[in-house]
Amino acid sequence: MRKYSNTQIALHWAVVLMITVQWWTAAAIPRTHSPLLPPSAWDLFQHKVHNYCGMTIGVLIALRVALRFARGSWSGFRLSNWKDHTAAFVHWGLYAALAAQAFTGFVAAYYWGPAAAVHKTIWNVTLALISIHVAAAAWHGFRRDQVLSRMFPSKQA
């Protein structure tokens, strides 16, 4: 039976943590570009953290997709057909949205400012997908089925 490796699990939670950092640091960016007030050192620091953390997310997403193809998906416990399809849609949607966000953020910061509008729009898609994903995780938690434990390390093979 295939399961997520500890590396995949660690990457999942590292990206969750880093998305929180992105959400938290993003608000400082417009302040660093204000034509009226000089940016504070703290805001400039947050902008830097946002850029480097965002680029790291991009690299980690590429790694996760590569691992996903190399190892395949969980094959031990299947939900009903539509639930499995919805889960796959949301999972691949999250990978695509996060990759697109890292890319458009990079382009906006270093090459072409107007890409920031796309970057912000994709954030709404990312948020919507995260909401569905976390709601589904909570639902599985209440049902106490085996789904939630897939993303936590365990000894069983």
Task: State the residues that interact with ligand HEM by CB under 6 A.
Answer: 12, 15-16, 19, 22-23, 26, 29-30, 50-51, 54-55, 57, 68, 73-74, 87, 91, 94-95, 98, 101-102, 105-106, 108-109, 116, 119-120, 123, 126, 130, 133-134, 137, 147-148, 150-151
Nearer to ligand HEM, 38 or 137 (CB): 137
Question: Which strand (E) or helix (H) includes residue 10?
Answer: helix 6-26
| CB 104, CB 119: distance < 8 Å | yes
Residues 81-117 as b/e (b if ≥16 CB within 10 A, e otherwise) read eeeeeebeebeebbbbbbbbbbbbbbbbbeeeeebbe
Lookup: tokens for 47: 């902008």
Nearer to ligand HEM, 38 or 69 (CB): 69
Lookup: tokens for 59: 């690299």
- CB of residue 52 vs ligand HEM: minimum separation in angstroms? 8
Cα–Cα dist 81/74, whole Å: 14
- CB of residue 155 vs ligand HEM: minimum separation in angstroms? 17
Nearer to ligand HEM, 38 or 70 (CB): 70
Nearer to ligand HEM, 25 or 41 (CB): 25
Helices (runs of H) and strands (runs of E) counted in the chain: 5, 0
- CB of residue 136 vs ligand HEM: minimum separation in angstroms? 8
- CB of residue 112 vs ligand HEM: minimum separation in angstroms? 11
- CB of residue 47 vs ligand HEM: minimum separation in angstroms? 7
Q: How many CB atoms lie within 10 A of CB 122?
A: 20
